[in-house]
């Protein structure tokens, strides 16, 4: 018997927020006894009718659990789950639904959920970059999400952040939700052909009489992510560095934020000596080659970017990251990378319930010069101390293979599936 698992990450509501993130896409390989479906067929009227009924049932359930809440408040929450998106699931009629990040579900079918931070659980009411002075705890959205997670059809929650597993029970004042949650370290693996290439590059990159810094955007490649990931501060720091050293280069694999800063900004960046902008689409092998041609990977962001970070470390490139919350679960300062302080507490921080407070607004108003100064000093050390950056890269390379093997990540997910599906 093959169990059908729907991963509705391309439905309208999920596309608008999370989509099919590579963190979880890698889990949907060939797995005996299971069939995973991402591209769900458009719903028929019958499926829409079932989705409307599920929405009505969720409304009545929440009304019974929170009678003090106005009908329009409850209806507003139910509407954020999007009837049309849920109709795709109803049309598919799966045995299990696999959600990621935000529980965009009516909870009427058995479902499991993967999370990174706790913050996106409350989307779209509370979201990345907009939560600095906006705690979710005790809000109507918090109450409704709590009921979804505590409900019997939420069969399991798993996370690759130990922080989230440790704090989810405190966030929701719920031992039940905590008991449903499991920590599984994120796992990474290159295809065999690329792994061979990565291993071969470990020594050759350190024989070059230059230091190449690589900055990349997020996997979604949205231009404004350049600002959130520290692109402006990277340019400021590199400009100063390039004035001192002739053997440095900065490669920017990103769409530049011309919608926010104007076309003149794009022209300015492209005119900077020894700065190369790669903004065309690359196949995966060519993307990894950028890391292998580089000496230092820059990720001075305001938040955690697990896949980018692990991928950079896994290539053996020395990584230079900020102290954004969550990153310390992957990078040990001075051992597997350099951690530059200045983001935590100013742009991102956890409260005592594990909730991520975060603001991006100051980054759209100009560079953080204090952070750029610290970034410059860290970059300068990477330039002048080749042995140090070689050591950091080598230790990052081994750290990923020892602590983040793909097999452990995949097997942990498989164990959750088997346990959940045994009870269906």
The string of pLDDT tens digits covering residues 188-232 is 999 999 999 999 998 787 778 899 999 998 655 566 889 999 999
The helix (H) or strand (E) run that includes residue 278 is strand 275-278
Give the Cα separation of 94 and 37 in Å (integer).
Answer: 9
Angle at 82 between CA 78 and CA 84, to 5 degrees: 135
Q: What is the reported pLDDT for 29? A: 87
Tokens of 188: 């990474």
Give the Cα separation of 82 and 89 in Å (integer).
Answer: 11
Question: What percentage of residues in the chain have a pLDDT greater than 90?
Answer: 87
The string of pLDDT tens digits covering residues 318-375 is 999 999 999 999 999 999 999 999 999 999 999 999 999 999 999 888 899 999 999 9
Angle, helices 369-384 vs 386-403, to 10°: value is 100
Tokens of 394: 């080598």
Same domain, 110 and 204: no
pTM: 0.95
Residues forming a β-bridge with 311: none
Q: What is the reported pLDDT for 206? A: 73
The string of pLDDT tens digits covering residues 108-163 is 999 999 999 999 999 999 999 999 999 999 999 999 999 999 999 999 999 999 99
Q: What is the reported pLDDT for 302? A: 94
Same domain, 383 and 411: no
Q: What is the reported pLDDT for 280? A: 84
| CATH assignment of the domain containing 275 | 3.40.50.2000
Kindly state the greatest CA–CA separation across the chain.
69
The string of pLDDT tens digits covering residues 280-332 is 888 999 999 999 999 999 999 999 999 999 999 999 999 999 999 999 999 99
Same domain, 252 and 376: yes
CA atoms within 13 A on the CB side of 81: 27
Same domain, 153 and 69: yes
Total domains in the chain come to 2
Q: What is the reported pLDDT for 380? A: 97
- The neighbour count for residue 295, using CB atoms within 10 Å, is 23
Same domain, 255 and 142: no
Give the Cα separation of 398 and 48 in Å (integer).
Answer: 50
From start to end of 83-221, where are the E strands?
96-100, 111-115, 154-159, 181-183, 211-216
Domain around 67: 3-187+407-422
């Amino acid at each position: 018997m093959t169990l059908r698992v729907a991963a509705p990450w391309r439905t309208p509501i999920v596309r608008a927020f999370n989509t099919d993130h590579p963190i979880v896409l890698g889990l949907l390989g060939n797995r005996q006894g299971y069939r995973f479906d991402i591209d769900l067929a458009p719903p028929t009227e019958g499926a829409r009718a079932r989705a409307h009924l599920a929405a009505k049932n969720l409304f009545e359930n929440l009304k019974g659990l929170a009678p003090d809440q106005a009908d329009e408040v409850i209806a507003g929450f139910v509407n954020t789950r999007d009837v049309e998106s849920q109709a795709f699931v109803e049309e598919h009629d799966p045995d299990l639904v696999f959600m990621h990040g935000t529980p965009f579900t009516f909870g009427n079918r058995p479902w499991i959920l993967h999370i990174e931070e706790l913050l996106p659980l409350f989307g779209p009411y509370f979201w990345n970059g907009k939560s600095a002075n906006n705690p979710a705890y005790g809000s109507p959205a918090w109450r409704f999400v709590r009921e979804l997670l505590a409900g019997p059809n939420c069969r399991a929650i798993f996370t690759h952040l130990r922080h989230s597993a440790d704090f989810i029970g405190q966030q929701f004042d719920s031992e039940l939700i905590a008991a449903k949650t499991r920590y599984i370290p994120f796992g990474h693996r290159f295809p065999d052909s690329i792994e061979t290439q990565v291993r071969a590059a470990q020594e050759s990159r350190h024989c070059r009489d230059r230091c190449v810094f690589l900055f990349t955007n997020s996997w979604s490649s949205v231009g404004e992510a350049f600002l959130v990931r520290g692109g402006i501060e990277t340019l400021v720091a590199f400009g100063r560095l390039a004035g001192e050293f002739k053997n440095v280069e900065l490669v920017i694999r990103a769409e530049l934020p011309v919608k926010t800063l104007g076309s003149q900004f794009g022209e300015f960046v492209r005119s900077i000596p020894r700065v190369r902008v790669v903004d065309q689409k690359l196949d995966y092998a060519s993307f990894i080659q950028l890391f292998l041609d580089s000496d230092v990977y820059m990720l001075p962001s305001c938040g955690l970017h697990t896949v980018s970070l692990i991928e950079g470390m896994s290539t053996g490139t020395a990584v230079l990251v900020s102290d954004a919350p969550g990153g310390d679960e992957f990078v040990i300062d001075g051992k597997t990378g350099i951690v530059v302080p200045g983001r935590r507490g100013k742009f991102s921080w956890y409260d005592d319930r594990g909730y991520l407070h975060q603001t991006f607004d100051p980054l759209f108003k100009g560079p953080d010069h204090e952070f750029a100064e610290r970034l410059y000093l860290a970059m300068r050390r990477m330039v002048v101390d080749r042995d140090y950056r070689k050591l950091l890269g080598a230790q990052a390379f081994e750290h990923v293979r020892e602590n983040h093997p793909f097999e452990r990540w995949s097997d942990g997910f498989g164990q959750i599936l088997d346990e959940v599906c045994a009870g269906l």
